[in-house]
Chain A
Amino acid sequence: MGALALHVPVLALAEPQARSAMAKQHAHLSDEALVALVARGDETALAELYDRVSGIAYGLALRVLRDERLAEDAVQEGFLGVWRTAAAFRAERAKASTWILTLVHRRAVDLVRREERRRAEPLSDDIGAQGTAEGTEEAAWLRFERERVQAALRQLPDVQREALELAYYGGFSQSELADRLGVPLGTIKSRMFAGLARLRELLDDSTHEGSWKPEFTS
């Protein structure tokens, strides 16, 4: 850790004109390399990560919170978490984008539970392609990926899909779901585990069927 602590943040030394050039340099780095730079206090690396992941992160937070201001808070707190804990991230264990989405989702769920701002009815598949930058390779990948995940979800038994969607998109805890659905807590836990394990399997299978998956780097 000594090596990390001794590093002077690059930006502190950079002239303003140099900053945009640096951001461009960062465009060629992997998400994981960017996190390593963030761990050394590099703000432009964080900005680049934000530009890559914030679209999905905000869409996720908005889905959970159904409120623009709160969704923005969740995204902001999630990225502050990235900034503060980047040194703890281990690329061999998780993709950086996954880790960031995990942080934002955790904040969104904490907020939705605090605000009690939730819909009573089951969540619909309000998936549309609105808002995404069109024509880019990334947008095409996103459309493909959305369709792939939706298809996998549709193959789950109804009770498992319901448990996953209410938990992940609705922010309901397992005990809240047990109350709401009128089934024992143990049943909810089992459904969630079986559902997530099955979804993982289905997604692995469809990856092998020829998904193409570019990195988020340009």
Chain B
Amino acid sequence: MEAGIHELTAGYALDALDPEERAAYELHLAECEHCREELASFWETTAALAVATSGPEPSAALRDRVLEAVRAEPPQNVVPFESRRRRLAPALGAVAAVAAVVALGVGIWASSLSSELDETRAALEQQQATAQILVDPGAQSVGLQTGEGRLVVDPDGRAVLVLDGLAAAPAGKTYEMWIAPGGDIGSANRAGLFPGGDGTAIERVDGTVEPGDVVAVTIEAAGGVDAPTTAPIAASGPV
């Protein structure tokens, strides 16, 4: 497994991994200096492939559009640490956010380790547990019946939900995960909250997923509720 995940560095640098493997690789990246160095070096090579393309110049209108979009962004959002600090959600939500930042900014770890050691350590432990499930060769990957993504369940019933392209939950709302025994949403058990956001959400499902269970996600009032009150926006097939 280890040799396999190192080899994914090339596929990652080329943006050629499938979503689950991309997520697993990003989690691996957080704890593997060798892969971070290899990736930085491969990125120089893929940048050379970018330079080898050519085409018409982008329009002047695009320049205006980009700069306008930038101006429309609140300045507080410029520094990612700001949003990291504002986020009150537990480490579970941080996993996806941290993975995304690893993907976007090379070397985020050096700074986060020095400035936010405790939060980072908790996030890392959470990540390692999540990564183990994602790369467990014995884990099964279940497609979603609603929404885009996968549910990955290891042989002990520990599960990770990977959701693609999920927008942030509306203001005052949260995403809430549920384990529906035998697919019965009426007797679903709470399985964790997460805020969502850009890109792929990688969420550890609280609780144990048994064969026949369905994992679903609903939008609920901030803080979560004890039983789902809305229709699921994502739901796995039966495990």
Instruction: Point out residues on A near B: beta carbons under 8 Å.
Output: 1, 4-5, 9, 38-41, 43, 46-47, 50-51, 54-60, 62-63, 71-72, 75-76, 79-81, 83-90, 92-95, 97-99, 101-103, 105-106, 109, 114, 127-133, 142, 145-146, 149-150, 152-153, 164, 167-169, 171-175, 177, 189-190, 192-193, 195-197, 199-200, 203
User: Given known contacts A192-B10, A200-B42, what 4 new A-B pairs fall within 8 Å (CB)?
Assistant: A39-B78, A72-B58, A89-B106, A168-B15
Instruction: Give B209 Cβ to nearest chain A Cβ, in Å.
Output: 24
Instruction: Point out residues on B near A: beta carbons under 8 Å.
Output: 4, 7-11, 13-18, 21, 36, 40-59, 62-63, 65-67, 69-71, 73, 75, 77-82, 101, 103-108, 110-111, 115, 165
> Which residue of A50, A55, A60, A146 has the most chain B CB atoms within 10 A of its CB atom?
A60
- The answer to whether A102 touches B47, judged by C-beta atoms less than 8 angstroms apart, is yes
Residues of chain A lying within 8 A (CB to CB) of residue B57: 55, 58, 131-133
How far, in angstroms, from A67 to B141 measured CA to CA in the complex? Answer: 34
Q: Mostly helix, strand, loop or mixed at chain A's interface?
A: helix
Instruction: Give B143 Cβ to nearest chain A Cβ, in Å.
Output: 14
How far, in angstroms, from A102 to B4 measured CA to CA in the complex? Answer: 23
How far, in angstroms, from A39 to B11 measured CA to CA in the complex? Answer: 29
How far, in angstroms, from A203 to B51 measured CA to CA in the complex? Answer: 13
How far, in angstroms, from A95 to B81 measured CA to CA in the complex? Answer: 22
How far, in angstroms, from A4 to B80 measured CA to CA in the complex? Answer: 11
Residues of chain A lying within 8 A (CB to CB) of residue B40: 93-94
The answer to whether residues A83 and B51 also contact, given A103-B104, A174-B16 and a CB cut-off of 8 A, is no
